[in-house]
A and B are shown apart, each in its own frame.
Chain A
């Protein structure tokens, strides 16, 4: 039904455009050309915007508000015997039972009261949907006649349309900003609730992380400990291993591509790097679990070193491979941004290409490269899928890359999987971890982008 409503709006908008344009064309043909301000198309767009946009916004609001309002009516209309003394969740249950009955999903024989309520619910829904179409239509007709009445030779439809467009763009960016603010504030709010149960100092400096506490009385579990240091060190260890792989390989690849490779080699290597960048992280996860981890374990066995089945080095190494294209393309940009005249100046003095690279190009490109590496670190810290698949779950405080460690992202995932109830420290801990993760990656990104941008300005 809502679909039809929006289809109707779309049709009306098109019709409004055509009408407006036709009117504009007649104005254009009637008056002498120099006096008409805007082209016919702008007249059409002006009318279409007036018809389409208010109706569309109205429709959206209607859809959002219709459900809750009907629910309120429904609850109010229930016999007091059913609602008296009921808690909010019992009423919710009741409402969803009514909705189920209305939708024809009957699990147990409903009481007559419920059947009656279900019928009312059906009816109100129908009324609301039709009302929406009627109201939208009315709005559109009013808007159409208003907009059409304004069309005139000197009417500045072109400028008016400009306003509409900029309004549209402002609206879109407001949506993006509002969403960001919403996400961050929910994160902060939940984390704050966690910190009312577990002191911040314990969370930030505690050395034991055992969040699997009992949610129900009949579960057997530990008392819980929320010292996140082992989780942080695990994250840092894996990110460090990843950067150990990604930084040199990425930078050297970039240097090779910029300075040494022939055009043909570049044409082959660049797409391959793009493929590497496009591999879904879950595939890297497979690769880490099924190929790399067993290989490292076997190799460790050969030389007599015990390697844990989900060693940090396997997860970190594969994550490093994932980050290579990222680093190499940013370093590539940084090196390419160094003006060619620097390179020519050095070569013309008789420097070899590698001397030119080390003494002139790399120092000049260094800020850009550092920025790229920092962005890579931020990705490594925030990466989830590979570590969920390949890293461990137990938070052990170690820096040995052959041991199993866990990361912030892994912990967030495991804390929120399964029986969840959003008022126990176990689940809320996930938000605290998420907040820390968010702050760290935010800082890294801001610093990195600053560096990259500052450096870009230097040569422009």
Chain B
């Protein structure tokens, strides 16, 4: 976290917190997103810009709709029966809820890492090559091998598994499995990676590795991470969004949110008064 002068500067921009990133290009833009599970409304008029090649953290108490919003961005909510999304979300200016849009292509551009590591019950190699194969990204065995190797390297897993690529991915440790899932996601070269509490099932050391990894991946990918750990949000993210009861309460630079939140609810949450 930065020094006090920085946060003073933030305070000046409180009313328009987005100004901080005006130079940066928004990758994902959501406008008035409302989500319903049957009768129940889970998100209310969420509007947000996600800056390209940076890490945005979603924080907020349990059940406030962080995962729900995350799943809107790669339309995984489509797979939940009774879930209706209203409003507009665009990726690079293209409406992702347009009827002409191909969901399968969208999900290749917006990858996802889940809370619990979920490698397929296949070999490590097959886990990573799964995406490139179905999308036809490799033009032969050697190219596929290259993709697998580079993905595993970028996920920081290559050294640990290069001699056992044909062993089942489910045989790895929890932290390794999660990095395998990250490798699997980057193997299809997505532009955005969504991570829903990727470290909640991991020990502190594995968590530290994943956080390091996220910091490295920021150079090439736009990353959105949901986390319950305030420290984690502070460590890995540049911008932080605070959700509460289905409402996006506040969005701003991470330093500003943690040192000088503009909303009372944000303040209460980060000082541990509720949630």
A residues with CB within 8 A of B = 262-263, 339, 341-352, 355, 359-360, 363-364, 458
Cβ contact of B108, chosen from A345, A350, A355, cutoff 8 A: A350
Q: List 25 A-B contacts (CB under 8 A).
A: A341-B114, A342-B120, A344-B76, A344-B118, A345-B118, A345-B119, A345-B181, A347-B76, A348-B74, A348-B112, A348-B185, A349-B108, A349-B111, A349-B134, A349-B185, A350-B104, A350-B105, A350-B106, A350-B131, A350-B135, A350-B188, A351-B130, A359-B130, A363-B122, A364-B120
* A341 touching B118, Cβ below 8 Å: yes
Partner of B114, one of A344, A351, A352: A344
B127 shortest CB reach to chain A, Å: 9
Q: Which residues of A contact B184 (CB under 8 A)?
A: 345, 349
Expressed in whole angstroms, the Cα–Cα distance for A344 and B114 within the complex equals 9
Contact B104 A344 (CB under 8 A): no
The answer to whether B120 and A346 touch across the interface, beta carbons within 8 angstroms, is yes
Known contacts A349-B111, A351-B134; A344/B181 CB under 8 A: no
Most B CB contacts (10 A, CB to CB) among A342, A345, A347 go to A345
Q: A348-B74, A348-B76 are in contact. Are A341 and B116 (CB under 8 A)?
A: yes
Query: Can you name the residue of chain A whose Cβ is closest to the Cβ of B104?
Result: A350
Q: Are A263 and B81 in contact (CB under 8 A)?
A: yes
Chain A: which residue is nearest B103 at the CB level? A350
Residues of B within 8 A of A364 (CB): 120-121
Complexed CA–CA distance, A197 and B76 (Å) = 70
Give every chain B residue within 8 A of A359 (Cβ-Cβ): 130, 134
Interface residues of B in 110-146 (CB under 8 A from A): 111-112, 114, 116, 118-122, 130-131, 134-135
Q: How far is the CB of A262 from chain B (nearest CB, A)?
A: 8
Query: Are B79 and A344 in contact, CB atoms less than 8 angstroms apart?
Result: yes
Q: Does B27 contact A (CB under 8 A)?
A: no
A345 to chain B, nearest CB (A): 4
B134: which A residues are within 8 A, CB to CB?
349-351, 355, 359
Do residues A348 and B107 form an inter-chain contact, with CB atoms below 8 A? yes
Q: Could you say which of A262, A339, A351 contacts B104, with CB atoms under 8 Å apart? A: A351
From the candidates B81, B106, B130, B135, name the one contacting A346 in the complex (CB within 8 A): B130
User: Does B116 lie within 8 Å of A349, measured CB to CB?
Assistant: no
**Bound CA span A245–B252, Å:** 62
Select B107's contact among A342, A350, A458, beta carbons within 8 Å: A350
Q: Is the CB of B104 within 8 A of A352?
A: yes
Known: A348-B112, A350-B107. 20 other contacts (CB 8 A): A342-B118, A342-B120, A344-B79, A344-B114, A345-B114, A345-B181, A346-B130, A347-B76, A348-B76, A348-B111, A349-B108, A349-B130, A349-B184, A350-B134, A350-B135, A351-B131, A351-B134, A352-B104, A359-B134, A363-B122
What is the interface size of chain B, counting residues whose CB is below 8 A from a CB of the partner?
A: 26
Inter-subunit contact A360/B120 (CB<8 Å): yes
Q: A355-B134, A359-B130 are in contact. Are A349 and B121 (CB under 8 A)?
A: no
Q: For A346, A360, A363, A364, which residue has the most chain B Cβ atoms within 10 angstroms?
A: A346
Contacts of A342 in B (CB 8 A): 118, 120-121
Q: Which chain B residues in 21-44 approach chain A with CB under 8 Å?
A: none
Q: Which residues of A contact B130 (CB under 8 A)?
A: 346, 349, 351, 359
* Alpha-carbon gap, A58 to B43, bound state (A): 71
Bound CA span A438–B268, Å: 71
**B111 / chain A contacts, CB cutoff of 8 Å:** 348-349
> Which A residues lie within 8 Å of B104 (CB)?
350-352
Is the Cβ of B76 less than 8 Å from the Cβ of A349? no
Chain A residues near B116 (CB, 8 Å)?
A: 341
Q: Which residues of B are found within 8 Å of A346, using beta-carbon distances?
A: 120, 130
Question: Chain B nearest CB: distance from A267 CB in Å?
Answer: 12
Q: How many angstroms between the C-alpha atoms of A417 and B114 in the bound complex?
A: 65
Chain A's closest residue to B112 (CB) is: A348
What's the nearest-Cβ distance from chain A to residue B272, in Å?
31
CB distance from A449 to the nearest CB of B (A): 21
Nearest chain-A residue to B108 (Cβ)?
A350
**What are the residues of chain B within 8 A of A352 when measuring CB–CB?**
104
Q: How far is the CB of A336 from chain B (nearest CB, A)?
A: 15
Distance, CA A343 to CA B188, complexed state (A):
17
Quick check: B114 and A349 within 8 Å, CB to CB? no
Q: Which residue of A lies closest to B181 (CB)?
A: A345
Q: Give the complex CA separation of A350 and B187 in angstroms.
A: 12
In the complex, chain A residues whose CB is within 8 Å of the CB of B79: 343-344, 347
Cα(A50)–Cα(B72), bound, Å: 67
**Cβ contacts under 8 Å, A458 to chain B:** 121
Ranked nearest first, the 4 interchain pairs of A and B with the lowest CB-CB distance are: A350-B108, A341-B118, A350-B107, A348-B112
Q: Given the complex, which residues of A lie within 8 Å of B118, measured CB to CB?
A: 339, 341-342, 344-345
Which residues of B in the span 64-93 have a Cβ within 8 Å of any Cβ on A?
74, 76, 79, 81
With both beta carbons as reference points, the residue of chain B lying nearest to A356 in the complex is identified as B134
Q: How far is the CA of A344 from the CA of B115 in the complex (A)?
A: 12
Closest Cβ of chain A to B202, distance in Å, is: 16
Q: What are the residues of chain B within 8 A of A349 when measuring CB–CB? A: 107-108, 111, 130-131, 134, 184-185, 188
**Min C-beta distance of A158 to chain B, whole Å:** 43
Q: Is the CB of B108 within 8 A of A363?
A: no
Closest A residue by C-beta to B117: A341
Q: Smallest CB–CB gap between B198 and chain A, Å?
A: 13
What is the bound-complex CA distance between A263 and B80, given in angstroms? 11
**Complexed CA–CA distance, A360 and B122 (Å):** 9
B109 to A: closest C-beta gap in Å? 8
Question: A347 contacts which chain B residues (CB < 8 A)?
Answer: 76, 79, 107
Query: Chain A residues with Cβ under 8 A from B74's Cβ?
Result: 348
Residues 171-215 (chain B) with a chain A CB within 8 angstroms: 181, 184-185, 188
Write the nearest CB–CB distance from A454 to chain B, whole angstroms.
13
CB distance from A389 to the nearest CB of B (A): 44
The residue on A at minimum CB distance from B82 is A263
CA of A352 to CA of B107 in the docked complex: distance in angstroms?
10
Question: Within the assembled complex, what's the spacing in Å between the Cα atoms of A359 and B122?
Answer: 10
A234–B167 CA distance with the chains assembled, in angstroms: 45
Which residues of A are found within 8 Å of B105, using beta-carbon distances?
350
* Contacting pair A345 B76 (CB below 8 A): no
> What's the Cα separation between A26 and B181 when bound, in Å?
68
Tell me the minimal C-beta distance from A366 to chain B in angstroms: 10
Docked Cα-Cα span, A349 to B194, in Å, equals 11
CB neighbours (8 Å) of A355 from chain B are 134
In the complex, the chain B residue whose C-beta lies closest to that of A345 is: B118
